[in-house]
Amino acid sequence: MKLGIVISGINAETNWNAFRLANFALEKRDVVKIFLVGEGVEYEKTNSEKFDIKEQAQKFLQNSNGAIMACGTCIKARNQESTETCPISTLKDLHELINECDKVLSF
């Protein structure tokens, strides 16, 4: 299955669970793409000992069937830079994700 996950908020527990689901899907040999939009591009700022989002993101990126993309406009609006865990993409990429995935979940 091809799974698309859209993260648009900064709630630590919600985003931690989104990445946990993504990693579980990868373990089941699914292809998973995560798109960060709006406040979602700031997901790493809410990392904590209890909700170690960075650890989940790094685990996700170690799998060749996983990819993270982030809205470039949203990143620029927050004066952020593109990073490995929050790479600049476009709405065209989000549109392609929606079209190519069997299921799309929004967190």
- For residues 33, 28, 65, 56, the Cα torsion angle rounded to the nearest 10 degrees is 70
How many CB atoms lie under 10 A from the CB of residue 91? 12
Which domains are seen in the chain, by residue range? 2-106 (3.40.1260.10)
Q: Would you tell me how many other CB atoms lie within 10 Å of the CB of residue 102?
A: 10
Q: Is 75 helix (H, G, I), strand (E, B) or coil?
A: helix
DSSP secondary structure letter of residue 39: G
pLDDT in tens, 28-49: 999 999 999 999 999 999 999 9
User: Residue 77 has what pLDDT?
Assistant: 97
Token pair recorded at residue 98? 């929606």
pTM for this prediction: 0.94
What is the share, in percent, of the chain residues with pLDDT greater than 90? 96
